[in-house]
Structure 1
Amino acid sequence: MTEFVTSSRGDRVAYDVRGSGPGLIFVAGAGPSRESDPLTSATAELVAQRGITTIVYDRLGRGESGAEGNIGLDRELAAIAALIEIAGGSAVLCGHSSGGSIALLAAVEGLAVDGLALWETPVSPEREAVEWAAEFERRLDAGDLEGALEYYMKDMPPEWLEGARRSPAYPQMVAQVVTSRADAQSLSWAASGSHAELFGGIRVPVLVMYGEQTYAEMVDAADSLVGAIPDARQKRMPGAGHMWEAEPMAQELAEFVLSVRRT
């Protein structure tokens, strides 16, 4: 059953909680809500069965987490902070795609993060992401939501955008692109300096994962993160692309969360 918590910024965040034990919070990337992403909920259920409290929530402006106005990083971090309290005062964050860059910033900003499990986080030390994010936000602010969505996806495999346009959910995707502002801001931050400078101060364990069927850029990003963060290791997950497979991911996450608790 959906529960709600109000952040320090006044946003009402919808979430599901499962299990009992050390906390694990799933931070979605651009687009998904709990309703549109059953894979994450299924994974959370499997992890919860292994003695862990899991939280899956709707990012601000998505699903049941209604939000108006400029939904930027400050509000997203406040939502995560509120959920960490629900999880028991500290938690591991599992970030998917750009949710991983938001999770990285949460750790850097001093939220009560026990560890980071990052899945295909597309961070790059190249300054191009800074200009890309600025143009994306310019289109949002101008009200060109379809143009903003197309621009957000411009460097993704072209079949992703083509598939989105053919989907009956495309109008909703266009309307909800405003909820990806924080994603763009976090990726811009991750390109604002060297990864050693940005991430070198992270002192919690970090597990960087990618699928064996992924793109070379994701492997390069994983290598860069592991090279920059003192207590980071990477894992190539078999049989997966940009979306993980529930059972092996649940096993990996459970082992990681429990190992973090023991340290």
Structure 2
Amino acid sequence: MENQEKLASSSDGTKLAYIEVGTGPALVITHGSLAGKDQWEPAVQELSGDVTCYVYDRRGRGSSGDSPSYSMQTEMDDLAAILQIAGEGATILGHSYGALCVLEYALKSKGHHPIIAFEPPLAVDEPVAGEPWVEYRNAIEAGNNDDALRLGLRSFVRASDAEVEAMANSSSWPSLLEIAPTWVRELREIDALGSGASRYAPLVERSTAVLVGTATSPFLLKSAEALIDAVPSIHPVSMPGLNHFAHVFDPVGFAGHVRHAMGIE
């Protein structure tokens, strides 16, 4: 991104790097695991004509700092720091694990920010991480990030062997290896939320949309369906032919779905 990087401070003093791009209604973007704000550059550029995007590196990656302690609460505190800058009327878009952070924030905050959850990984039939989490953690602690990441993609993302190999041979693999350790703590927080989507029922009083691609994994489709069933007031936005990385591979189409979710036609 060409826009100048800025710094915000979370409640514990951790510095969060963010970029403000575009004009129009504010949209705060909380990225998922194994990612950073740069992954959102294509979609942000497409949105920037109608939306002011605030995209930040979640703690522990990119230009943001970190702290010895970590929990879902620290993620919510970080999000609150960016929202202070974006303003009370900002919409919050969360992707994958970032969507879980946004949903938890919506449950526990006093604000009234509209929410857009892009394919949150809910534990519907079984834990998202489960027993393979221990093997993943052990591999990370032993410094075997490559083995850990391959295991994680198969076990947690439910990627096929062919998909894992394609990712391992891509130019993004080195950067994924670098931030692979952060997945240990995030997976722990996901499973700590428990099973099902009933915890999100109180969001019936809040403006909430769910983005889900028709070509995404069965696991994520089930997650979206469970959330929609739990919160009858949710606005489901189906993205034909798109998947969990629609913002990367079809930024134009994805941006159109985000505008629709925000009520910008």
Q: Could you say which residue in structure 2 is the equivalent of 1:17?
A: 20
Please point out which of 206, 209, 216 is paired with 1:207.
Answer: 209
- For 1:56-205, what aligned pairs fall within 5 Å after superposition? 56-110=55-109, 112-129=111-128, 131-132=130-131, 135=134, 138-139=137-138, 142-144=141-143, 146=145, 147-155=147-155, 156-157=158-159, 158-167=161-170, 169-190=172-193, 192-196=194-198, 198-202=199-203, 203-205=205-207
Q: TM-score, normalised by structure 2?
A: 0.82
1:188 Cα offset (Å): 1.3
How much is the aligned-residue C-alpha RMSD, in angstroms? Answer: 2.7
Q: Which has the higher contact order (CA 8 A, sep 6+)?
A: 1
Q: Could you say which residue in structure 1 is the equivalent of 2:221?
A: 219
- 1:47-103 residue CA offsets vs partner (Å, 9 max, x unmatched): 2312x3211111112111132534432222211110000101353221112221121
For 2:163 and 2:183, the matched residues in 1 are separated by 16
- Answering whether residue 251 of structure 2 is matched by residue 246 of structure 1, we say yes
Any conservation in 2 of the 1:90–1:112 contact (CA below 8 Å)? Answer: no
The 1:6/1:54 distance shift into structure 2, 3 A limit, reads same
Any conservation in 1 of the 2:94–2:116 contact (CA below 8 Å)? Answer: yes
1:30 Cα offset (Å): 0.9
- Give the 3-state SS of the residue equivalent to 2:73 in structure 1: helix
For structure 1, which runs of at least 5 residues remain unmatched after alignment?
none
**Structure 1 counterpart of 2:19, which letter?**
D
Any conservation in 1 of the 2:121–2:128 contact (CA below 8 Å)? Answer: no
**Structure 2 counterpart of 1:187, which letter?**
I
For structure 2, which runs of at least 5 residues remain unmatched after alignment?
none
**Structure 2 counterpart of 1:25, which letter?**
V
More off after superposition, 234-243 vs 176-185: 176-185
The 1:141/1:249 distance shift into structure 2, 3 A limit, reads closer
Any conservation in 1 of the 2:237–2:261 contact (CA below 8 Å)? Answer: no
- Give the 3-state SS of the residue equivalent to 2:180 in structure 1: helix
- Give the 3-state SS of the residue equivalent to 1:200 in structure 2: helix
For 1:102 and 1:136, the matched residues in 2 are separated by 25
- Answering whether residue 37 of structure 2 is matched by residue 34 of structure 1, we say yes
Q: Could you say which residue in structure 1 is the equivalent of 2:46?
A: 46
Alignment identity in percent?
21
Aligned residues: 253
For 2:74 and 2:240, the matched residues in 1 are separated by 35
For 2:112 and 2:119, the matched residues in 1 are separated by 19
Any conservation in 1 of the 2:123–2:191 contact (CA below 8 Å)? Answer: no
